[in-house]
Amino acid sequence: MAAARPRPNALVWLLLSALVIVLDQWSKAWVLSSLPEFQPVPVIDGFWNWYRTYNTGAAFSFLSDAGGWQKYFFTVLAVGISGLMAWWLHGTARGNWRSALPFALVIGGAIGNVIDRQVHGHVVDFIQWYVGDHYWPSFNIADAAIVVGAVGIAVFGLFEGKPKKKADNTTP
């Protein structure tokens, strides 16, 4: 017998996914219209630059030199993972924010980067953090949402554990 789905479910959290997509695409439109390519624009000296660059791969430019097929691979992967997480949202209680929030962030970030891949052929990155001569790879709002969501899934999943049974105070 299948377990009953909670009502109301957490699909309303897809509004957060939509917000992430809108903020991500808005920020990338600003970057493409306002920032020079491959030239740092200091925001906080010694720590943070705006730096317009492009990534044809995935995290840390993984497979960026793969010849083009990676665009379709990462698109299918992102859509598949987003679909799976939307299905999980469907089976999650609306008030269970510890599950719903991270899923929604990952979905929004993944779809934000899929839009870039389909429209531009690459992902637009523009946030560059550094200390001295040590630079973190450039990233964008979608990437940040994916990372925060993935960390949330791991942390909340680790500490959630199994639900405790209610104490039964009745005697046999």
Query: What's the pTM?
Result: 0.83
Reading the chain (172 residues) residue by residue, the pLDDT tens digits are 566 665 789 999 999 999 999 999 999 999 999 999 999 999 999 999 999 999 876 555 555 554 556 667 878 989 999 999 999 999 999 999 999 999 999 999 999 999 999 999 889 999 999 999 999 999 999 999 999 999 999 999 877 755 555 555 555 5
DSSP letter for each residue of 98-164: HHHHHHHHHHHHHHHHHHHHHHHSSEEEEEEEEETTEEPPPB-HHHHHHHHHHHHHHHHHHHH-SPP
Contact 28, 140 (CB under 8 A): yes
Q: Is 45 a catalytic residue?
A: no
In 3D space, the residue among 139, 145, 71, 81 whose CA is nearest the CA of residue 108 turns out to be 145
User: CB count, 10 Å around CB of 172?
Assistant: 3
Say if residues 48 and 136 touch (Cβ distance below 8 Å).
no
Which of 24, 45, 116, 143 is catalytic? The answer is 143
156/73 Cα distance (integer angstroms): 29
d(CA 34, CA 31): 5
Tell me which of 116, 125, 133, 168 is the catalytic residue: 125
What is the C-alpha separation between 22 and 17, in angstroms, rounded?
A: 9
Question: Is position 143 annotated as part of the catalytic site?
Answer: yes
